[in-house]
């Protein structure tokens, strides 16, 4: 993350937080149809669009969990809603590829050090 500008880091963090919101939304038995507009045309998944969604009811959660989930909801609305799935996952893949490449290098170095 240090290689990114503050604006890039904010975009990355908010995109990943928005994806966490989706994960949590789905884990509560909500359907993807509530989050995705498939539209018409080619039918390519990458062209589907994230729908804006109403603010979730969070009263059942403890205050700290409410704040955490509310932050993820705001990130979803800011970075995903109205954008295509292709754009969202494209940003995530770029970040995760860079991060994964660094982690693999670190892991490889660590394994060599423990074998010595």
pLDDT tens per residue across span 44-80: 888 899 999 999 889 999 999 999 999 999 999 999 9
Residue 89 CB-half CA count within 13 A: 10
Give the global pTM: 0.76
Rounded distance, CA 58 to CA 32, Å?
19
Q: Where are the domains of the chain?
A: 6-109
Dump pLDDT digits (tens) for 18-36: 999 999 888 776 778 888 9
Angle in degrees, CA 24, 25, 30, rounded to 5:
140
């Amino acid at each position: 993350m240090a290689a990114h500008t503050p604006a890039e880091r904010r975009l990355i963090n908010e995109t990943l937080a928005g994806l966490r919101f989706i994960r949590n939304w789905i884990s509560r038995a909500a359907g993807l149809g509530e989050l995705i507009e498939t539209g018409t045309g080619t039918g390519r998944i990458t062209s589907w669009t994230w729908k804006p969604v109403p603010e979730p009811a969070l009263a059942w959660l403890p205050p700290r969990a409410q704040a955490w989930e509310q932050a993820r909801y705001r990130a979803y609305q800011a970075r995903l809603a109205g954008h295509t799935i292709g754009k969202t996952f494209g940003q995530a893949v770029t970040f995760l590829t860079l991060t994964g490449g660094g982690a693999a290098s670190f892991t490889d170095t660590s394994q060599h050090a423990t074998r010595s």
